[in-house]
Structure 1
Amino acid sequence: MQTVNHVTCEKRSYTREFTSHQHEFGQFLFPLKGSLDIQTKWQEIHLNSDYCFYIPPKLEHNYRSMDRNEFLILDIPLQYLPEDTSDMYIRLDKQWTSIRYLLLEEAKSQENLSSLVNLTRYVTNKLQISKPPSIEFIHKHYKEPIKLETLAKIEHYHPVYYSSWFKKKTGKSPKAYISELRLKEAKHLLISTEYSISEISEELRFENSSSFTRWFVKCEGISPQKYRILNNG
């Protein structure tokens, strides 16, 4: 088992043979060229330049690259990490792309370790507040029917494991999380618009206004009509 006592940021390349190990530190992998196949107990990931991947301490994983490759690796000692982190597959949006650029600059210079440490602290903080891709997907598509298998596939998890992973992340099941978002939107539409109950049920993709009303009563304890009256005073 590998250990590190200080933050390490450097470029690395990987072979075509599967290698298996775990380490006593957190690790970020940022693809620069090529791709990397990563296997954990519950995941199979083909990591390319659109994503980065965080591997928490003590997670057994296999990895290999079938093409010419180069990765920026950030090894983070335990003292810089929160008590509990889980593996995370992260889309490289503008912020994460900027982070990769700054880390690349630090890897080139290696002159000011305090700058690298400060940047690492920023990265670990962002790790805690970042939404995994499947949760981002839910926030964009919660008005539509969403299958558990679809969400699990986004994270490259087995559906059974995905449910427990999701609950650990959010404190709720995927179904409850989606229902909460829909309820929040339903309340917003009832209070801030003059949409009819039928129009709101259509907006939230219910089969009809009756099914929307039954669902709302089950969630809130009163009908949507009564909720609108009570909150429009």
Structure 2
Amino acid sequence: MDKVNELTCEKRSYSKEFTLHQHEFGQFLFPLQGSLDMEMAFQEVTLSPDQCFYLPPGLNHNYRSRDRNEFLILDIPTQYLPKGTNSMYMTLDSQWSAIRYLLLEEAKNPADYSALVDLTRYVTKKLQTSNPPSIDYIHQHFKEPLNLETLAAIEHYHPVYYSTWFKKQTGKSVKEYLSKLRLDEAKRLLLSTGWSMSRISEEIGFANSSSFTRWFVSHESVSPQKYRILNNR
């Protein structure tokens, strides 16, 4: 069979009994009606129609649907996939909703593969450039107290596994990643505003300016006041 013809975009329904398997291709699942329970080694997800999920090749997973259901499925051969993809859980924003609509249109015309190939390449590119939801959450809330359990729950991972997964995704621990975001924001505020140390420390989530100063010195080896003077010349 021609490699292009291995691309599959179609509607499917699933039974109430758990089924365990894996496949040697990537798969996007878009619930259209009902829900889908999925269990992986360190992750449990219940998908509903306002969400979608990507399964990488070779990942063992249990799945079932306990209600009347219909799903749009895109099976993607490995030649279309970037290396080292991980499972990804996503809420349908405007872009993913548009992708689902276009895939539904392609599913109505399975004989025309050229548009499906182009759309699949776009989807896999988006897979590479999209942040997992917990990392998006960190970027939106890094000035607030965050804990590992909250972040792991966003990805539906066990907290212990989440730490390993996060390091693989970013090359940093959660603590290091948060610290880098806060440090970059502190530097930006020091150089672009005339705010006091108290106001900056409060803005990026420190209880007081003393703790902020100690933290800043530990990273930059100069006080925030001196950093401002040296870099505003």
TM over 0.5: yes
Using the alignment, how far apart are the partners of 2:127 and 2:67 within structure 1? 28
> Which secondary structure does the structure 2 equivalent of 1:119 belong to?
helix
Matched with 2:19 is 19
Using the alignment, how far apart are the partners of 2:129 and 2:91 within structure 1? 14
Q: Which sections of structure 2, spanning at least 5 residues, go unmatched? A: none
> Which secondary structure does the structure 2 equivalent of 1:125 belong to?
helix
> Which secondary structure does the structure 2 equivalent of 1:9 belong to?
strand
Using the alignment, how far apart are the partners of 1:72 and 1:195 within structure 2? 52
Using the alignment, how far apart are the partners of 1:5 and 1:173 within structure 2? 41
* Counterpart mapping for 1:107-122 below 5 A: 107-122=107-122
Matched with 2:180 is 180
Matched with 2:56 is 56
> Which secondary structure does the structure 2 equivalent of 1:42 belong to?
coil
Count residues with an aligned counterpart: 230
* Counterpart mapping for 1:1-233 below 5 A: 6-233=6-233
* TM-fit CA distance, 1:91: 1.6
Using the alignment, how far apart are the partners of 2:151 and 2:26 within structure 1? 25
String of CA shifts for 1:117-161, please: whole Å, max 9, x gaps: 110011011001111110111011000010011000100001111
> Which secondary structure does the structure 1 equivalent of 2:72 belong to?
strand
> Which secondary structure does the structure 2 equivalent of 1:75 belong to?
strand
Deviating beyond 6 angstroms after TM superposition, the runs of 4 or more aligned structure 1 residues are none
Using the alignment, how far apart are the partners of 1:55 and 1:28 within structure 2? 6
* TM-fit CA distance, 1:193: 0.5
String of CA shifts for 1:181-210, please: whole Å, max 9, x gaps: 111110010000010001101111201100
- Of all paired residues, the percent bearing the same amino acid is 70
Using the alignment, how far apart are the partners of 1:162 and 1:151 within structure 2? 8
- Equivalent position amino acid for 2:208 in 1: N
String of CA shifts for 1:74-120, please: whole Å, max 9, x gaps: 00001111121111111211111100000000001123201101100
Q: TM-score, normalised by structure 2?
A: 0.97
* CA RMSD after TM alignment: 1.0
Using the alignment, how far apart are the partners of 1:156 and 1:5 within structure 2? 33
Q: TM-score, normalised by structure 1?
A: 0.97
> Which secondary structure does the structure 1 equivalent of 2:74 belong to?
strand
* TM-fit CA distance, 1:5: 6.4
* TM-fit CA distance, 1:226: 0.4
